[in-house]
Chain A
Amino acid sequence: MPDAAPLPLDPRAIRLDAEAGSRDDAIRQCGETLLAVGAIDEAYIATMIERERSISTYVGEGVAIPHGTLAGKDAVHHDAISVLRFPGGVDWDGEPVVLCVGIAARDDGHVRLLSELAQILLDPERAKALRETADAAEVFRLLQPAADE
């Protein structure tokens, strides 16, 4: 697997008590958080929703990883992720989603980001801890590359 590196997560891009009325609402919030840390232009958010309509970014373990389309890449300033936890859950086309990891990546950066995130989530204990924690420091700890353990 690719060399592990820390995920580009700004502390301001973590929200552990989010609420969303719908899947699209949750995606928009993930995008707005990426926007707030200067990672994207607002135009990227619409491409995140467009992507989701094309194919679901639900990956299992109660986690979705919304990200923009290829066309949206021009609206990305730098690689970043956002972590939003929806304790009340979000109906993701029938799948209950508690954790959303919004992803913005330039060029081929998303493959590395997705790979690292997937390696972390493949550990059911870690995925569960991520779904349940209300502590941002714990999120950072859990998102350290799997190889560190």
Chain B
Amino acid sequence: MPEKTVTIASRSGLHARPAKMFVQAAARQGVAVRVRVGDRPSVPATSMLGVLALGAEQGTAVILQADGPGAEEALDVLAELLSRDLDAEEAADA
């Protein structure tokens, strides 16, 4: 199954706001994406509670996985999102 590892760039980690942006982006993908940290069980990337439960901080490597047509593209889109500092974008919006 295609996988992609990405390091969380957001200053405050994958918490409520960056997590929600990630979950919403995952829901827009045409394939089911799962996410995990290390050897721990993966959770659906569309589950807000699941993603929060990962407890991923800035610098934590998370592994995205998806299968089927469009899987690679979906992983690219989501990995790109996580590699940006989404908190900095929030500050820019304010």
Using a CB–CB distance below 8 Å, which chain A residues touch chain B? 1-2, 50-51, 54-57, 59-61, 65, 67, 69-71, 108, 110-112, 114-119, 121-122
Of all A-B residue pairs in the complex, the 8 with the closest CB atoms, nearest first, are: A115-B55, A118-B52, A118-B53, A111-B13, A2-B55, A118-B49, A119-B53, A59-B48
A114: chain B residues at CB < 8 Å are: 15-16, 52, 55
Please tell me which one of the listed residues B21, B53, B58, B94 contacts residue A115 in the complex, with CB atoms under 8 A apart: B53
Q: How many residues of B contact A (CB 8 A)?
A: 28
Q: Closest CB-CB distance, B7 to chain A, in whole Å?
A: 15
Between-chain CB contacts (< 8 Å), 7 pairs: A1-B54, A1-B55, A55-B17, A55-B20, A70-B90, A110-B12, A115-B55
Q: With an 8 A cutoff between CB atoms, is B72 at the interface?
A: no
Chain B positions 48 through 65: 1 when the CB is less than 8 Å from some CB of chain A, otherwise 0: 111111111110000000
Chain B positions 15 through 42: 1 when the CB is less than 8 Å from some CB of chain A, otherwise 0: 1110011000000000000000100100
Closest partner residue, chain A, to B52 (CB atom): A118
Known interface pairs A54-B93, A115-B55; A108-B12 also in contact (CB < 8 Å): yes
Are B49 and A111 in contact (CB-based, < 8 A)?
no
Closest partner residue, chain A, to B21 (CB atom): A55
Are B49 and A61 in contact (CB-based, < 8 A)?
yes
Are B57 and A111 in contact (CB-based, < 8 A)?
yes
A71: chain B residues at CB < 8 Å are: 91, 94
Known interface pairs A114-B52, A119-B53; A70-B12 also in contact (CB < 8 Å): yes
A1: chain B residues at CB < 8 Å are: 37, 40, 53-55
